[in-house]
Chain A
């Protein structure tokens, strides 16, 4: 096995793929990167058995062969080589030699037989979607904040990709709040799949600036994200996601339009006083024109901020300030809608113009 490639390209690829190989895996070979060359195609692969990252590396010279090398060591060695030089990696038995100009080292590799085979998407049976990278990144970031890390409820530790009314939407909830974003209109194929949040985070981290589009393919129990030279294959969470659309209240009788920046500011102010009461703040719409955010901390004092807006019906709701801030930061437009009906039902936050993103937050017991 032999490859020759520029230091930048190799270093970037190794940095991307080695993240998941620096783990606490009991199986030592999972800390290695698999380098496979066949027909002048070079692929670098790592896996943690929940997901796998593949990088197809464009090289100038190559000889067929396959070997595994400790990923972290290789990545760090290459990243410290001078930029602009070519790097040559060759293997003989399990000795892997890395050469670049005056620098050279030999790393003990492991034969590839023990490296797990990476499951593959069945292209014929898969459902494929394509989406712009910026849109994808923004949308996942807007939704993933609401996902849970409670491992006793696996369904909530992922982001739910589902289609309805010919729209592909992604959603996540931790039981206290829920975020949904419609990401693609007019889709023809259907999908219902929970992608682990950790896998999606890896996808987000791995997307580089020069990529425009991402292709997402779903199989029965696998998902593959393909962008630029990289492919990330991940298991799906085999659980049923709550039927969340029913949880989004439809007819809210109290609806106010608010300036997002202003609401963020008053929420932060209220949050200062809400610390000792678990972040609980009171949002109140008062006819005809006041929206107030209040918090009371018995030891420190209290805070009451007001925003002028149009209010048609009065009402109030107790919310966790951190959840509200998360939601507000995920919204994009300068003006947002804040809708609720009574203390039992959640508050619904949306952009004023676009209806693609919906964030709901459960009220706290008053």
Chain B
């Protein structure tokens, strides 16, 4: 019976996975993710891929908002930069799709840091409005540019001369199947990068700025430099999400990157847990699956109780809003905290105090 987790060396205390259970959980999750695409249909793969992309962008936003304490309403705009850069490079310059993605990340990082400049002077609500301006400026620029009239068609991805939609190996294939691997390998990379980022000097500086910026400055953290760095890192990851989305859906349209997308990602990290990488993933799962589940409940009711089913679309909006309010009231630290509480309960059972 364990009475707590004790570390006897600094190395152990600093380890990424501090207990054997954590290691097992990760192995199980990886096994599940590897098996999943082989046993699921197109619908579940679409949901999984939407979750993966949402999780990437949510982690990006969490670096900025959750870890550095700089609120941002510009996620949709930054994703659009990533998506359009990747799309334009592939469609008009003939650059291979896999090369367009890192390009798009860098471009988004640069644009993100430009819009991050006001963050030195602005905090809280004022910064929210400044990033909202970023969202609107980017959207305005896209709509008014020659790209605004028609959607940008991204050429289909070819591997060894075969289109990815047609490519099948041992009966498994289709665009959703192949992109599942691209998305989840990227997500894995992003998670590893972010978790490790907060074990470095840079990451600690971000957290210091979040907790008390004046104290951080007194300790020698260059506020301007690290805030910009946070904007750049965050935009880099968000741009990755946008670029993958563009390649995956094969078409880029501004309607996907409006202010609603920005609010969606803010909701993801609030529900999942601000300042938590795993929370961003839980939040993405929650926010993508809830509407899908409500839709399917509506369908199931449709045959037995059509009168109730007719109300489901309206109820869905209400349930969505209600969930967010309840989270804010009862668990402001989000799903990540709930998960931690559950673990603590079982670890200390039956002698919890």
B partners with A: no
Interface residues of A (CB under 8 A from B): none
Interface residues of B (CB under 8 A from A): none
